[in-house]
Amino acid sequence: MHTARADTTKANDNISPRHRKLLASPEVQRKATVAQLYFLDYYFQHLGYISARKERRAKFDEDTEVRGLTHSEHQREWKSYCGRERVVLRRRRAKLRVEQFHIITQVGQGGYGEVYLARKQETGEVCALKRMKKKTLQKMDEIRHVLVERDILTATRTPWLVRLLYAFQDNLYVYLAMEYVPGGDFRTFLNNTGIMHEKYSLFYATEMFVAVNELHKLGYIHRDLKPENFLLDGIGHVKLTDFGLATGALNPQRIESLRIKLDKAKDNKIVQRSTMERRSLFKTMQRQNPQWADSIVGSPDYMAPEVLRGKPYTYAVDYWSLGCILFELLAGFPPFTGQSPEETWTNLQKWPEVLNRPVYDGDDAEYNMSDEAWSLITKLITHAEVRYKSLDDLKTHSWVEGVHWEELREYEAPYVPELYADTDTRYFDDFSSEDDMAKYQEVRDKQKNVDEVEEVDKPTGRGVWVGFTFGKSGPNAKALGAMGAPDENGALATIF
Amino acid sequence: MSAFFGLGKTRTFKPRRDVPEGTKQYQLRKYAEATLGSGNLRKAVQLPEGEDLNEWLAVHVVDFFNHLNMLYGTITEFCTPNECPIMSAGPRYEYLWEDGVKYKRPTKLPAPEYVDALMNWAQGLLDNEEIFPNKIGVPFPKTFKDTIRTLFRRLFRVYAHLYSNHFDHICALGIEAHMNTSYRHFFLFINEFELVEKKELAPLDELNSAILAEDRAR
């Protein structure tokens, strides 16, 4: 996220070239932006508190006067009123701690931590509490990933992106408490669905495009979109969560690792498979392979070629991923997934030859995609220069011709989750079930490996986690408007 | 070295006028005018009638601690042992760290280590429920006012270091209005409750005089 801000010419004259370069770095820019938002939020809240307190006092005075109390009655009520105000003030000071949340059950497990369904004791609010080890994040060079995720969640309030309720930390962990989206993630939904009728695919695909566009409007590129990143809310609409690699720079080691794997596949031969065979293999792998639960390694199946090759990229990389997801909605399997990682890398290396229109025979023929759908896929899964890169590009296509974009969330979803309570977790894995737990064994094995990685030499400075904590507060701006130049008469500027 | 001390005349505080409508900062300014009237933070720092003084002091010291964490966090890349070998507030003031535990005598530390020690020490106090009770109904200890004074005196030093040594960086990052607002709030607060001796505030005397003068003019 880049907030426009004018440099102070006079100040720049005194700043060394090294510092000027540092000032322009994404990390420093991020902290400055977070600081600006922090102070604006703080003073909104603080002035709000003062104003609300005045109103409460005025109401107390008015109420007690109307009732014509005796002096001793008034004293008793005054004492009671002051006691309540003192409680409000003390609560303001209380730090968010994990003990304030009642853990109901575990609903997710990722490479960097767990996700729990939890209820905040004080408010009864239900949330998805994501807990991540600071050490793991530091070892895997993913601190920035978490900071950016927190920034994105803080910066926006849109029904298309999962909302942040709280962010806090203790010595060992950082926590993100997000709105609980009870319908489960889209990967689970797809696993429980066969091939989807095209009209239903249209519903989900358009919602995904709009959700990703919300992220793009904030200035972020996701770069690692896959079905797991989308959730279904209580009435079956789509929300985007887990903002992945939406950050200034990929971990260079990871880029290199992806590129090496791609290069190794250069001389491999493509395995020819029928559509039915590919779908069948994919379904079998889904049942046997826990790969999708693992966010440390990550799956390259939906990644754009320029990301895999470590090349410069644009918003178009996310449209490639959305094209792969659309392909999967319509065909029942992703376009490049092979029976083994090696086969997958070969398919990605030679994607122009591998990408074929899926055709089913016999009973499944009714699910074959239309010409328009295939046409759209070929405009999404294509070379970066000619690929769709915006929602406006998409809207020109005939497949989405009849879509009323402003009313998407008013449509009735093809499938509405059945929920019996606001803490219903039926659409998530059961972490006390051995079958469900088998999926996560690989994640645990990798976590063990991470734990054995050498401690990072340098201690984490104070600056790294500054600004992480975020309480429930009033409305957040998407970004600050452009800051003007300092007043010419030399006065020190204040924000109000 | 900061441009802050290159200017001869006294500087005053002034809300930024050119903030575009519709931005959050514009909304905040309107909100401040509506709630405080002309943005006067002096009223905001006053103890509400019937409120417990210790509770009021406690909530504010936590707020200013958080402000400084945020402000200092933005310039950690520029506050290094190399560039800030001592904890100073301009050329005439130097601070030595002593906490009675790890540093039993006043010790010369580079600024980043001093700030880190100070903020960790402060965090330890704020987290100590025997000093800053969280549970409703638990009273503050008898020594609380002394603890508060020590906290505010030391927190001032971080503001002093930021203004004296990193003002250019703060301006270049576009957060000088935020720091100025926070410091003005801090200063009006300590002035209201006489929490820090005047001699301790000498490094920012000019700023402090400007705040008081402006306050009288409102």
List CB contacts (< 8 A) between B48 and chain A.
53, 57, 85
Cβ of A481 within 8 Å of Cβ of B63? The answer is no
Please check whether residues A162 and A310 belong to one and the same domain: no
Domain locations in chain B?
Answer: 36-217
Please check whether residues A331 and A461 belong to one and the same domain: no
Q: Name the CA radius of gyration of chain A, rounded.
A: 26
Cβ of B136 within 8 Å of Cβ of A90? The answer is yes
- Which member of A151, A185, A224, A318 is catalytic? A224
Instruction: Say if residues B172 and B85 touch (Cβ distance below 8 Å).
Output: no
Cα separation, B63 vs B54, whole angstroms: 14
Q: Reduced to 3 states, what is the DSSP secondary structure of residue A129?
A: strand
Instruction: Say if residues A334 and A380 touch (Cβ distance below 8 Å).
Output: no
Q: Which amino acid is at B94?
A: E
Averaged pLDDT, A204-233 = 86
Residue B84 confidence class, pLDDT cut points 50, 70, 90: very high
- The lowest-confidence range among A8-12, A129-133, B41-45, B105-109 is A8-12
Cβ of A36 within 8 Å of Cβ of B174? The answer is yes
Residue A138's CATH number:
3.30.200.20
CATH architecture of B36-217: Up-down Bundle (1.20)
List CB contacts (< 8 A) between A471 and chain B.
none
Separation in Å, CA of A33 to nearest CA in chain B: 8
Does a structural domain hold residue A423?
no
Please check whether residues A366 and A289 belong to one and the same domain: yes
Residue the block writes with tokens 């696993």: A191
**Burial class of A55 by CB neighbour count within 10 A (0 to 12, 13 to 18, 19+):** exposed
Domain boundaries, position A106: 98-181+450-465
Specify whether A430 is catalytic: no
User: Tens of pLDDT along A350-361?
Assistant: 899 889 888 887
Cα separation, A467 vs A150, whole angstroms: 10
pLDDT of residue A3: 34
Question: Would you say the C-alpha torsion A299, A303, A308, A311 has a positive or negative sign?
Answer: negative
How many distinct structural domains can be found in chain A?
3
Cα separation, A51 vs B33, whole angstroms: 11
What tokens were used for B17?
Answer: 């006028």
Q: Reduced to 3 states, what is the DSSP secondary structure of residue A169?
A: strand
CA A137 to chain centre: 16
User: Tens of pLDDT along A413-440?
Assistant: 887 876 757 777 777 777 777 666 665 6
Instruction: Say if residues A194 and A218 touch (Cβ distance below 8 Å).
Output: no
pLDDT of residue A141: 63
Q: What are phi and psi of A194, to 5 degrees?
A: -80, -145
Please check whether residues A235 and A278 belong to one and the same domain: yes
Q: Which amino acid is at A488?
A: E
Does a structural domain hold residue A327?
yes
pLDDT value at A473 more than 60: no
β-pair type (A492-494, B13-15): parallel
Chain A to chain B Cβ contacts (< 8 Å):
219
Please check whether residues A130 and A116 belong to one and the same domain: yes
Long-range CB pairs of A483-489 (<8 Å, 24+ gap) are A483/A3, A483/A4, A483/A5, A483/A6, A483/B16, A483/B19, A483/B174, A483/B177, A484/A6, A484/B16, A484/B17, A484/B18, A484/B19, A485/A6, A485/A8, A485/B18, A486/A8, A486/B171, A486/B176, A487/B14, A487/B16, A487/B17
Does a structural domain hold residue A433?
no
Cβ of A19 within 8 Å of Cβ of B78? The answer is yes
Closest alpha carbon to A482 in B18, B82, B139, B80: B18
Instruction: Say if residues A258 and A308 touch (Cβ distance below 8 Å).
Output: yes
pLDDT value at B7 more than 50: no
What CA–CA distances, in Å, run from A240 to A131, A222, A232, A337?
Answer: 19, 10, 9, 23
Comparing A43 with A278, the larger pLDDT belongs to A43
Cα separation, A276 vs A355, whole angstroms: 15
- What share of chain A in percent tops pLDDT 90? 14
Does a structural domain hold residue A397?
yes
Angle (deg, nearest 10), helices B53-74 and A71-93: 20
pLDDT of residue A150: 66
What tokens were used for A42?
Answer: 């703080």
**HSE (CB half, 13 Å, CA atoms) of A283?**
14
Does a structural domain hold residue A316?
yes
Please check whether residues A228 and A200 belong to one and the same domain: yes
pLDDT value at A477 more than 50: no
Partner residue opposite A491 with nearest CB, options B11, B134, B181 = B11
